Chain A
Amino acid sequence: MNVLNKVMIIGVTSSIAEHTARQLVGKGASLYCVARNAEKLDSIVKDLNVRAPNSNIIGAVMDIRDSQGHMKLLDDAINALGGLDAILVAHGTLPIQKDCESSWETTLVEIDTNALSVLSLLTLVGNYFEQQRRGVIAVISSVAGDRGRQSNYVYGAAKGMVSLFMQGLRNRLFKSGVSVVNIKPGFVDTPMTVGFEKTGPLWAQPDSVASGIVKAMEKGKGDVYLPWFWAVVMFVIRHIPDAIFKRLSL
């Protein structure tokens, strides 16, 4: 079991991340919480403080696309928590695919948010954990990164880049005892998916996804589909021959 006493959460204002934070403080963890919206961050830190009055919970405001600031952010977190056991990277945006198709600038911003900012963080924290010879790196990517589909391939490409990067990082850090956990949720009922028709068995609630994340981090799993049945769904999707796949409207 990995220790999760000192955890840094990037994008804690994400609904999934907030529920994960609640479960972690419920187990006694101290948290360094990063988000770009100061007001929302403040209300989350207050809530976590009520739930766990004895935990050390610190909030830091930052737009995570500012990768120049990542080194300082990591240092601050380590100093504030007195060390670091794990990082959970949860921030993300779901672009409107059509907007990306008509604007390279938009595409670039989405790739930056969903992929490049993550790789920058992972580069720094990977080195830190490698030296420490333990640690958990968890990132919420997505099932969308498993195969490109016309409805959201910019988002999918960014998530897919993160997934491939993590495969390599996991391979590199295995001998150092560092867990690299790739969380791939399916459809989750969060603000990211407002406007979607959220009925049917494919939709999960953020608190149940959060339990899956905590378990995967504790056990040091590799690729984790949440809920589990997405592993089956995506196995099928990945194995549809391209000659057929390219004709589908997915």
Chain B
Amino acid sequence: MRLAQFPSRNGPFTVYGNGRSYGDVCLTGDATLLKTRHLDRFIAFDPDTGVLECQAGVTLQEVLDLTVSQGWFLAVTPGTRFATVGGAIANDVHGKNHHSAGSFGHHVISLELVRSDGEILTCSLEENPLWFQATLGGLGLTGLIASVRLQLLAIESPWMRVVSQRFANLSEFWELNKSMEANWPYTVAWVDCLAKGANLGRGVYYAAKHLDAHSFQSSESLTPKPLSREKTLTFPLDSPISLVNNLSLRAFNSLYFRKPVEPLGGFAHYVPYFYPLDAIRHWNRIYGRKGFYQYQCVLPPQTSVDGINAMLQAISKSGQGSFLAVLKTFGERPAAGMLSFPRPGATLALDFPNREGHTQSLFETLDSIVHEAGGALYPAKDARMPAELFRQAFPAWEQFAHYIDPQLTSNFWKRITT
């Protein structure tokens, strides 16, 4: 059935978008999956105001395919365009512009929530506001998000202007971050996790903005370059061993670090700029059969300087560096949802090849730093956080529980509430 409704038989059910979460928020043990990808119709788009109404199974890519040529972009986008609009809401995802634009939920004008008893709730800041807040970042537990009205962002070209700058250590990062955030809507830094001592926290800082029409027209080399699905690379097989072992990582990280950093004024099309990993389908396979873990936390402003420092020290000491270590600060805007992950502070995201015992004990060390710093882990990227840590970091979880649909559950929710 293409119009959104629950199956007539009894649950439990777990809502599934496009499965782009790393952990188990969209997985289930004994529940039936409700797949939403088929809810992929647009309902209305006004190119004068940038308000888009669509069903929740529409992917971010499908939104962009429709709107970019008409001068509108997602106000917030995560690092994959294969996420669905419903999934982006359920995890209240963030992008490189959190400091300037907040999270995905901040740009949702309203949504239609279908409950398993057949009730349909229209939710917005004005109408059913508590249901709205419970559903933004609500991990797919408050009901099936059927359709959504989004406010998009006006752009003048599909291109980005990108600048980058190295920093030698963490204190340089904090300084650079202050000045960059004041001037650029998109910022993010890559950190070399293997660097030690005086080099601890060295990395490259990237800032970007949408290119304005004037610069776009005056640059002849820029022609629209949509990267089609066929042109993306596929990682065909699981590699038998993790390619991200210590050696290849060292090579990768130092290569990355030495990669000539362009001075002011590089250009990038929005696809490779926002979605570098989408270009390599099944990129996670390079980690081998055992897979990998993501670890993403946010630490509040008061504790983030010391906390990030302590985490990088622990990682560097363990020698279990990460392929992607991303550091960014979130802005001051209050969270959109009851269980939203983004909140003021600094967020660090890493991934680790699964080396069982080693990896687990490092995680325990990192957990205790996050715990002491009063921080939080990101449910969308988690397959293992301890229940106490979740409850400390998401104090609204008990209030939230009132809004859970009795027919919905997920492995994640069972794990952190029992």
Asked whether A46 lies within 8 Å of B1 as measured between CB atoms, the reply is: no
Task: Identify whether the interface residues of A are mostly helix, strand, loop, or mixed.
Answer: helix
Is B1's CB under 8 angstroms from A50's CB? no
- Residues of B1-56 at the interface with A, using a CB-CB cut-off of 8 Å, are 1-3, 38, 41-45, 47, 54
Q: Which residues of chain B in 237-277 are interfacial with respect to chain A, using CB atoms and an 8 Å cutoff?
A: none
Contact A50/B66 with A43-B41, A43-B43 known, Cβ cut-off 8 Å? yes
Give Cα distance in the complex from A15 to B40, angstroms: 11
Whether the pair A47, B1 counts as a contact (CB closer than 8 A) is no
Residue contact A191 to B1, C-beta cutoff 8 Å:
yes
Given the known A-B contacts A39-B3, A191-B2, are A51 and B43 also in contact in the complex, defined by CB atoms under 8 Å?
A: no
> CA–CA, A53 to B67, complex, Å?
12
List B residues 166-214 near A (Cβ within 8 Å): none
Residues of chain B lying within 8 A (CB to CB) of residue A191: 1-2
- Min Cβ gap B131→A in Å is 24
CA distance A47 to B63 in the complex (A): 12
Give the complex CA separation of A47 and B38 in angstroms: 13
Is residue A147 contacting chain B, with contact meaning CB distance below 8 A? no
Q: Which residues of A contact B2 (CB under 8 A)?
A: 15, 40, 43, 191
Out of A15, A46, A53, name the residue touching B43 (CB < 8 Å). A46
Given contacts A50-B66, A51-B66, contact A44 B41 (CB under 8 A): yes
Residues of B within 8 A of A44 (CB): 41
Docked Cα-Cα span, A44 to B54, in Å, equals 12
Number of A-B contacts (CB under 8 A): 28
B3 smallest CB distance to A (angstroms): 7
A95 to B43, CA, bound (A): 32
Instruction: List the B side residues contacting A50 at CB < 8 Å.
Output: 42-45, 54, 66
A53 partner residues in chain B, CB cutoff 8 A: 47
- Nearest A residue to B67, CB-CB: A50
From 23 to 58 in chain A, residues with beta carbon under 8 angstroms from any chain B beta carbon are 39-40, 43-44, 46-47, 50-51, 53
Q: Closest chain B residue to A190 by CB distance?
A: B38
Q: What chain A residues lie within 8 Å of B41 (beta carbons)?
A: 43-44, 46-47
Contacts of A15 in B (CB 8 A): 2, 38
Closest to A19 in B: B40
User: Which residues of A lie under 8 Å from residue B44 when comparing CB positions?
Assistant: 46, 50
Interface centre among A39, A50, A53 (most CB of B within 10 A): A50
Chain B residues within 8 Å of A40, by CB: 2-3
A43 to B45, CA, bound (A): 14
Residues of A close to B1: CB separation below 8 A: 191
- A44–B2 alpha-carbon span in the complex (Å): 10
Give the docked Cα–Cα distance between A195 and B308 (Å). 50
Question: Residues of B contacting A39 with CB < 8 Å?
Answer: 3
Instruction: Report how far A51 CA is from B63 CA in the complex, Å.
Output: 10
Q: Are B3 and A46 in contact (CB under 8 A)?
A: no
A113 and B116 CA atoms in complex are apart in Å by 34
Q: What residues of chain B lie closer than 8 Å to A43, measured between beta carbons?
A: 2-3, 41, 43
Docked Cα-Cα span, A43 to B38, in Å, equals 13
Smallest beta-carbon distance B146→chain A, Å? 11
Q: B111 → chain A, closest Cβ, in Å?
A: 17
**Contacting residues, chain B, for A46 (C-beta < 8 A):** 41-44
B3 contacts A47, CB within 8 Å?
no
Which A residues are CB-close (under 8 A) to B66? 50-51
Q: Which partner residue on chain B sits nearest A43 by CB separation?
A: B41
Q: Closest approach, in angstroms, between the C-beta of A18 and any C-beta of chain B? A: 8
**0/1 interface trace, chain B 80-95, chain A, CB 8 Å (1 if under):** 0000000000000000
Residues on A with C-beta less than 8 A from B47 are 53
Note all chain B residues with C-beta closer than 8 A to A51. Answer: 42, 66
Among residues of B, the one whose C-beta sits closest to the C-beta of A39 is B3
How far apart are the CA atoms of A148 and B45 in the complex, in Å?
Answer: 48
Q: How far is the CA of A15 from the CA of B41 in the complex (A)?
A: 12
Complex: chain A residue closest to B43, CB-CB: A46
* Chain B nearest Cβ from A22, distance in angstroms: 10
- Of chain B, the residue at the smallest CB distance from A47 is B41
Give the residue name and chain of the A residue nearest to B47 (CB).
A53
Question: Closest residue of chain B to A46, judged by CB?
Answer: B43
- With CB as the reference atom, state the residue of chain A lying closest to B58: A47
Per the bound structure, the CA–CA distance linking A43 and B3 in Å amounts to 9
Min CB–CB distance B127 → chain A (angstroms): 22
Chain A residue at minimum C-beta to C-beta distance from B42: A50
Residues of A within 8 A of B54 (CB): 50
**How many angstroms from the CA of A51 to the CA of B42 in the assembled complex?**
8
Q: What mask results when residues 151 to 177 of chain A are scored 1 for a CB within 8 Å of chain B, else 0?
A: 000000000000000000000000000
Chain B residue nearest in CB terms to A189: B38
Query: A residues engaging B (CB < 8 A)?
Result: 15, 39-40, 43-44, 46-47, 50-51, 53, 191
Q: List 6 A-B contacts (CB under 8 A).
A: A39-B3, A40-B3, A43-B3, A46-B42, A47-B41, A50-B43
The 5 closest A-B pairs by CB, nearest first: A50-B42, A47-B41, A47-B42, A50-B45, A43-B41
4 more CB-based (< 8 A) A-B contacts, given A47-B43, A53-B47, A191-B1: A39-B3, A43-B41, A50-B66, A51-B42
